[in-house]
Amino acid sequence: MENHDMNNVKWADNHKPLFSLSIRPSSTIHSLDERLENFFHMYNQLRKQAYASHHHHHSHYQITDKDFKQAIMDTVWAQSEKLIQFLYILLDTLLSLLVRSPILNGHILNVNQTCFETLTKIVQRIQRDLLADLNDTHGRNRLLLTYIHYECTLHTPTETDPSAISSKSASLRPSSLYFQRRVPRSTSNPDLPSPSLSPEDELALANGSLISTGISSGKQANETSQGIIKDAAYSTKTAQQRKPLHEELLFQWVVSSGATRDFAFGNSWFFFELLIKTMGHYLHMTNRFSIERRHRFSYQFCDDITTLLRLIIRELLDRQHQTQRNGIDGKIHCTQLNTSLAFFINDCLTLMDRGFVFSLIKIYCKEFDLEITHGQPTDTSYYISLKLDFIRIICSHEHYIALNLPLLPTIPPSPSPSIGSMQSYSSNNNTTNGNHQRAMTIQQTDLTYEYRQEHYLVGIILHDLQNVLSNNSPWLHSRAINILRNVLSCHDFDQRLLINDEKNNRNRVARLYLPLLHIISNNINKLFDPGNASYGQLNRPNVTPSDDLITSNGDELAIENDGTLKRVSSMTTFSEETSRDLLICLLWLLKNIDSTVLRHWWMHMTREQLQHLIQLLDLSIASFEYKGKKQLKRHHRIGAGGHASVLAAISTCASTKKTSMISVKNQLEKSIIGTDNARTDMLNRTKQKNPISSNHESNKNNNNLRWRKDQTHWRQANTERSEEDIAIDAHLESILASECTMIVLDTIETIIQVVQTTDCHQILLPGLLKILLHAFALNQSTWTLQNLFSHQRSIVYKFPELLFEEDTEHCADLCLRLLKHCSSCLSTIRSHASASLYLLMRQNFEIGNNFSRVKMQATMSLSWLVGQSTSQFNEIFLRKSLRTILTYADGDTDLQESAFPSQVKDLATNLYMILCDTVKLREAKDNPDMEIDLLHRIANCYQNSPDLRLTWLQNMAQKHLAMNHYAEAGMCLAHAASLVAEYLRMLESKSYMPNGCVALQKISMNLLEESAVSDDVVSPGDEGICTGKYFTENGFIGLMEQAAVFLTHAHMYEAVNDIYHVLTPIYEANRDFKKLSQVHSKLHEYFNRILIQGNKRLFGTYFRVGFYGTKFDEFDGQEFIYKEPGITKLAEIASRLESFYIDKFGKSQVEIIKDSNDVNRASLDLANKVKITRVYICACVY
């Protein structure tokens, strides 16, 4: 304003400025960034020159090749805000230049490599620096992902575009490339040795005549602006340089090097996603979806993919050792690159020739297998992990089934045929049933080379599983098994299998996994055994002599719920969850495959293979036993849904529990993507910024922690769960347990049909019966139990020799299971159990005109149940079952004229007498000492019945064992062994066997009590007496070995020496040198302990306790010796006894006599009060 003469204006303060005004432009058209503006301006000028050249105009603005390249590269360093604001326009422009290089003065500007390098740097800057907080759990930036899916402008020539470059021209690549061979060239790079244009195209380009006729000069679409110009005239001039974007993008990636390649590999997901988008768009625009897959893409493009694959494989194998490059950990970089590659190849299965894609997978697997086999052992686990991730993603393809099933049986494996996606399932569902049941060969059931070639992806999964299971890494075991389990889960949720014949479809899918049985069988010794005991004997102590009984002195002893001693061993390799996952996959196979196929397959199996199958079935029942809600609360178990989904959502689970099925699907998605792990969670946390600056100090301290308990899955797994979640999991577990048992029962029926036609049925059938007995011992649903009873009756009817042979113990175990279920509170179960027990008696009677064997075993079983715990059965319901059995006997008209009804009544009478002991035991359940004394008196009452006395001695041993009274438990078993020795002498005299219980009196003089019954009272072998497994040589050895184990824990080494002194002649006669070596080694150790410890061993503290008072009934005036553990004060036992009897009689009715003198009964008021004396006594060892 000072330059203007303004008359009649009066200035204040002598023309002093009052304020200043600045103008800042705000525009969505202009970038307002010098670098971006310069690039856009040059780009528009080049387009204007092309337009002016086409219309014979001249431009005075001159741009050099060097200036334009520099402008492109400068866009990387534009202002952050402006770069993000104009990111989509900038990326579109770079991609446009990548396939349509500008023409300057008739020459093509070589900017392709510059554009690709700039593109990688921009993506790197957005991904790692500017918008790192927008990266998802897979390392993908949401802004860039949105651009690819919705905003990207693709430049793809149509099939009918006359300006499209012919694909016939090709050239040699520079010698700096990784692979030296004839490969495709960029059509827009004049610096390469040989131009890609054909001679005809070059001549047309020089004459300026290669112009599209589809756009007339009078209809030019010219959309101009200050920032970007888009017009059709420019495209007509530059159309001759157009090449498919996917080919040019891939080519530039392959020929890149240095930092450009590193950035491209570091953000590979972006370029792979962009490639797939451009490939699909190219097929759509050129109408190539309707042609054969092998003709959809050019040979040069396929060759470039192969080259890129090899480059990435070399990057994966070499890069993981580098801790940092471009700010990324080497292993994290390799994991992301490997995942992106896998998803790209997965998408290629949809778009490209599948035979070619399989060749890519084959290259990948071959390279990694070589590195795993010949590489460093420290890197093997990591390489296996990468390969498993790759295969997991590949096998998540929607047409996975069609990719493995051949169209026709005559199609040669190569390695798998290319199958059209539109005809995949229709062709498979239209096959005939005759082809479905064709004869199976060894190539279909074993993991042979032919099988892996014919069923390519399944072969890779199973082959990797087989190799990983031989590894010692539990983490890899879980990864490999989860891949298979998730694939099987997808089959169950696949609605396409429900079309037409569902059973046939599922059978065909299941036949793909036939080699799985042999893979699991080969690792059967590594599977986790939940029972840690032989099947069918879970509730009885195992008496078979074994090395474990002798060498288990250092093992930890555990008490099961039934009081049985179990030994905790760490010999298994697989964890419980790993074994469950493997077994659930096997059960899925057995459920879905047709029984005809199984029979035909198993008829060609060896006896050892069938035995492994039977053992796997038994492990399956034990592994999926229903434990109840309390167990779920205790262990916070969350894996039930994953197992249930494998078995077709377990029948009704999918329909009744919709929320749980959604949870299963979410878990499946996480497992496929590979994000549900602690490592990814940790990485995501490290990327998070501090929420507010005020917490900087606290965050600074916390960031130094490698992990935090409140932010990891460890904390989540140990938080309290709602009752609703626990109820859902319990429901899933119950359905899963029932489904598994039913699958096993169906499989048992198929095996029976197979073994009946072979000569090894006498060896295999007992194993099947043991599975049923094992199933009876576990928690089962009512519906499952009814089916178990039906199968049990069927097997007993078809094969009675399994139960009634002299050398089998199956009859005893079956009687035990049936009697236990006869006391069930459910009338349906009692009816089935009573019917089974009655038919067992009837069949035994029909064989030998009596059922003495069943009578004795039933009596012993009930005695054992009563001695274990009264909570295991209900006396009232058991009496009802016995009345039902008597009703069956009275109504059986076929046997009314025989002695069968009277014998049934005799058995019922014996069982009623045993139930009377239940009342006494229930009264003494709160006083363990009185309960033990009562068991001792009951055992003495059966001195005329050695089988029953042996049973009650074992009951007493288990009661002592439950209270950690190892010395008393050992002596109870020593009494049992003496009883067995006495009757073995009567049955058969052997020189190396002990001559009755007299030979064992060095262990304890009390063992002579077992000689009270002589051979003129009972005759061993008559009416089922002394026919059990304990009255054998192995039974005697087992009882003595168990006694030695218990006495060892009680530090009674002298008695252990006496036991082994009896066993050593037996070992010598059997030439069991391994046992002899172990025995002498143990004795050497025990003798050294005696020398070192001497008289310092504490065997316990002993007290004499007297009971006086009429309220004690038969115990009035009697005195007992109480043994207390370790150092127990006199006041402690006095306080315990006083508290117990005060609760029983009242505080005013109990008095503790503290005097140790003899008690004068006349001076005591025994009618109104009870008196208790306790005196400390010394014990002497002779």
Give the alpha-carbon dihedral of 1155, 1159, 1165, 1171, to 10 degrees. 60
Per the CB < 8 A criterion, the answer to whether 1125 and 1098 are in contact is no
- Of 731, 774, 248, 768, the closest CA to residue 533 belongs to 774
Neighbouring CB atoms inside 10 A of 297's CB total 24
Average pLDDT per run of 10 along the chain, which is 1182 residues long? 63 77 82 88 80 52 80 90 91 88 78 91 90 86 91 66 33 33 40 38 36 33 33 40 81 92 92 94 90 91 94 86 60 89 94 93 93 84 92 93 65 38 40 44 78 91 93 90 94 87 88 93 90 42 42 39 38 80 94 90 89 93 85 55 45 38 43 42 43 40 40 44 80 91 94 85 86 91 92 89 72 87 91 91 79 79 72 79 89 84 85 77 72 79 78 86 87 89 80 84 85 53 62 87 90 89 90 90 90 78 82 78 78 81 80 76 74 77 54
CA nearest 223: which of 234, 210, 237, 213?
234
Cβ neighbours of 59 (radius 10 Å): 14
Q: How far apart are the first and last CA of the chain?
A: 128
**What are the structure tokens assigned to 812, written together?**
């005893």
pLDDT for residue 1028 = 66
**pLDDT confidence of residue 328:** 63
The encoded tokens of residue 902 equal 């009277």
Sign of the Cα pseudo-torsion (1057, 946, 805, 891, in order):
negative
Q: What is the dihedral of CA 210, 212, 216, 222, to 10 degrees?
A: -100
Q: How many C-beta atoms surround the C-beta of residue 931 within 10 A? A: 19
Compute the half-sphere exposure of residue 616: CA atoms within 13 Å on the CB side of its CA.
29
> Both tokens of residue 182?
């004839």
Predicted pLDDT at 157: 56
474-493 and 377-394 helices cross at what angle (nearest 10)?
A: 10
| pLDDT at 893 (0 to 100) | 83
Q: Evaluate whether 1020 touches 1031 at the Cβ level (below 8 Å).
A: yes
Residues contacting 266, CB < 8 A, separation 6+ = 124, 127, 128, 326, 328, 333, 336, 337
Give kind and range of the element (H or E) at residue 1104: strand 1101-1108
In the chain, where the domains are located: 34-172+193-211+221-249, 440-529+574-676+720-758, 762-923, 942-1095, 1098-1177
Cβ burial, residue 429 (10 Å; 0-12/13-18/19+): middle
**Pairs from 753-762 (Cβ < 8 Å, separation ≥ 24):** 753/599, 754/599, 754/602, 754/603, 754/610, 755/610, 757/603, 758/603, 760/607, 760/610
3-state helix, strand, coil in the chain (%, to 5): 65, 5, 30
Determine if residue 326 is left, alpha or beta; phi over 0 gives left, psi from -120 to 50 gives alpha, anything else beta. left
d(C-alpha 836, C-alpha 854), whole Å: 12
Looking only at the bridges linking them, the beta strands covering 565-568 and 556-559 are antiparallel
CB atoms within 10 A of CB 1120: 13
Give the residues across from 557 on adjacent strands: 567
Those residues whose C-beta lies under 8 Å from the C-beta of residue 952, and which sit 6 or more positions away, are: 863, 867, 935, 938, 939, 942
Residue 669 to residue 664: CA distance in whole angstroms:
9
User: How far apart are the C-alpha atoms of 169 and 165, rounded to whole Å?
Assistant: 9
Question: Sign of the C-alpha dihedral, residues 813, 819, 822, 825?
Answer: negative
Determine which helix (DSSP H) or strand (DSSP E) holds 557, and give its type and residue range.
strand 556-559
The answer to pTM > 0.85 is no
Predicted confidence at residue 115, as pLDDT, reads 92
Give the whole-angstrom CA distance, residue 922 versus residue 215.
103
Instruction: Name the superfamily (CATH) of residues 942-1095.
Output: DOCK DHR2 domain, lobe A (1.25.40.410)
Cβ(46)–Cβ(105) below 8 Å? no
- Rounded to whole angstroms, the maximal C-alpha distance in the chain is 153
What distance in Å separates the CA atoms of residue 301 and residue 365, rounded to the nearest whole number? 22
d(CA 190, CA 106): 12
CA distances from 985 to 2, 264, 273, 995, 1158 (A): 137, 86, 84, 6, 46
Structure tokens at 377: 């052992």
Nearest to 390 by CA among 483, 268, 314, 255: 483
